[in-house]
């Protein structure tokens, strides 16, 4: 398992950009609600921990994971957010339904990232059983929602910096800001 040796809830605040001026959308699937609520709580708490005011976090619920795509699309179109986190949980059953839902949601969220300028962060658990989902939504492996919120902050920051007229360089400073290097513009005369 990818999370076997990693706690999903751990992050270094010194590497997180300042998020107090960003707006975040969170679209949450009501299917497997115990799990998705745990993921939402992890995401919400991480955003608050990184100084995002609660009124700058918008939550929408959708019936299931497949509906996350439409919910995220409408949020992108109407809510003036800097990033969207989609939260869902699909657990393997005895039919191929699991495969179709997982593939569809993955491709749909990928498409939104390609088609729009606002990052959509994938926080959909696709586990073999309920225990694996519990372990990743606040259990022994931490909380994937926390990890998604940190990714959303970093991606919102990258989007903001990319829209500026000058380049930025890694790594982050201790304040969480990226080091920006001024590049002189050459003007050639004819």
Instruction: Report the CATH number at residue 79.
Output: 3.40.50.960
The pTM score is 0.83
What is the band of 168 on the pLDDT scale with cuts at 50, 70, 90? low
**Model confidence pLDDT, tens digit, residues 19-71:** 999 999 999 999 999 999 999 999 999 999 999 999 999 999 999 999 999 99
Q: Residue 56 gets which letter from DSSP?
A: G
131 marked ligand binding residue: no
Catalytic sites, residue numbers: 97
Q: How many domains does the chain have?
A: 1
d(CA 153, CA 146): 11
13, 148 in Cβ contact below 8 A?
A: no
The answer to whether 102 is a known ligand-binding residue is: no
Given phi > 0 = left and psi -120 to 50 = alpha, else beta, which region is 30?
Answer: alpha
Q: Tell whether 179 is in a known binding site.
A: no
* Domain-located, residue 189: no
Which range of residues forms the domain containing residue 60? Answer: 21-163
* Residue at 32 is within a domain: yes
- Does residue 71 lie in a domain region? yes
């Amino acid at each position: 398992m990818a999370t076997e040796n990693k706690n999903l809830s751990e992050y270094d605040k010194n590497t997180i950009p300042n998020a107090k001026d960003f707006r975040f959308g969170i679209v949450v699937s009501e299917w497997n609600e115990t799990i998705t609520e745990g993921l939402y709580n992890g995401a919400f708490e991480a955003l608050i921990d990184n100084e995002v005011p609660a009124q700058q976090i918008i939550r929408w619920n959708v019936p299931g994971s497949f509906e996350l795509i439409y919910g995220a699309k409408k949020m992108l179109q109407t809510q003036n957010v800097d990033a969207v986190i989609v939260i869902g949980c699909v657990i393997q059953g005895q039919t191929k339904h699991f495969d179709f839902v997982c593939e569809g949601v993955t491709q749909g969220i990928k498409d939104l990232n390609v088609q729009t300028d606002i990052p959509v962060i994938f926080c959909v658990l696709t586990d073999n059983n309920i225990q694996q989902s519990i372990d990743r939504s606040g259990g022994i492996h931490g909380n994937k929602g926390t990890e998604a919120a940190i990714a959303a902050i970093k991606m919102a920051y990258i989007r903001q910096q990319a829209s500026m007229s000058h380049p930025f360089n890694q790594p982050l400073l201790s304040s969480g800001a990226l080091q920006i290097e001024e590049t002189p513009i050459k003007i050639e005369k004819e």
